[in-house]
Copies of this chain bind each other. A is one copy, B any other.
Amino acid sequence: MSTIGKALALLDTLSRLDKEAGLTDIARLCALDKATARRFLVELEKHGFVEQDLETRRYRIGSAPVRLARIREARFPLLRIAIPFIRTLAESSTETVHLSEFSAGRLSTVHVEDSPRAHRITVDVGSFLPFHATASGLAFLAFCPQAEIDEALAKPLEKFTDHTVVDPQLVRVMLDETAARGFSISHNGLEAGVVSTAAPIRTPNGHPIGCVAIAAPFSRITKAAIHEFGAQAAAAANAISEKYYGSERPMGTIPEIRRTD
């Protein structure tokens, strides 16, 4: 693997830790030599991607990504556009609504509007959403070209709960249903007791870039309500797609796109 790749993987590892980490831990987690890890950290620090607490000598994510993120957002303001829709959806559904974005081969949570109810689902910003085990993942994949679906399902699928579907063939059935409906539904895929529905935000040529999802406790949700939420998520996702990419060809087609209707 390239040096750059390893350094960025270190950054990724560091970002997924709950707390600041010491040199030895970082080296071990990244399967790097201590000397190598240190050189990477020093180099990343020079550019502001990590910073070292001078007292504890531990490392954390620096402020350079903040600057880059701001520039990215200024030029490509998905969040600014999406948040009002997410918020509206959270208010009307009174359930937790979250927005995810595809990045570096994975779907990660970029914004969450919590349900106002005491009994609610919580989703962490920054958390990853496995393709086969979350409504967001299914919604994303269902609208991807076949090649990407094959690639995602070629790897072994992790079983997060008793109900996680790990058979690629069954996942494909769910993808077909999702493509047909326009939104996905996931029962207890990642965590027990949670039901979610999601719909993809897509480029003008139909390729997904992220998802809008609604998550609710299984105990209080009827089948009809799930479908209603799904339809609302799809409407919001489409509205975001349209606003994000301008009004040029709201929804085009790419050859491989999956459609049933």
Contact = CB atoms under 8 A, between A and B. Distances in A.
A66 B61 contact: no
Interface in A1-21: 2-5, 7-9, 11-12, 15
A64 to B, nearest CB: 5
B68 A72 contact: no
Given A64-B103, A70-B125, A103-B64, A46 B76 contact: no
A103 B67 contact: yes
Given A61-B72, A65-B72, A70-B125, A44 B4 contact: yes
Given A69-B65, A110-B70, A125-B74, A104 B8 contact: no
Contact of A126 (B9, B70, B76, B108): B70
B125 A63 contact: no
A2 B4 CA distance: 10
Interface of A: 2-5, 7-9, 11-12, 15, 39-40, 43-44, 46-49, 60-76, 79, 101-105, 108, 110, 125-126
Q: Assembly of this chain: how many copies?
A: 2
Nearest to A128: B67
Contact of A68 (B46, B65, B75): B65
B110 A47 contact: no
A75 B53 CA distance: 14
Contacts of A125: 70-71, 74
Q: Count chain B CB atoms within 10 A of each CB in A5, A8, A9 and give the residue with the most.
A: A8
A47 B9 contact: yes
A18 to B, nearest CB: 9
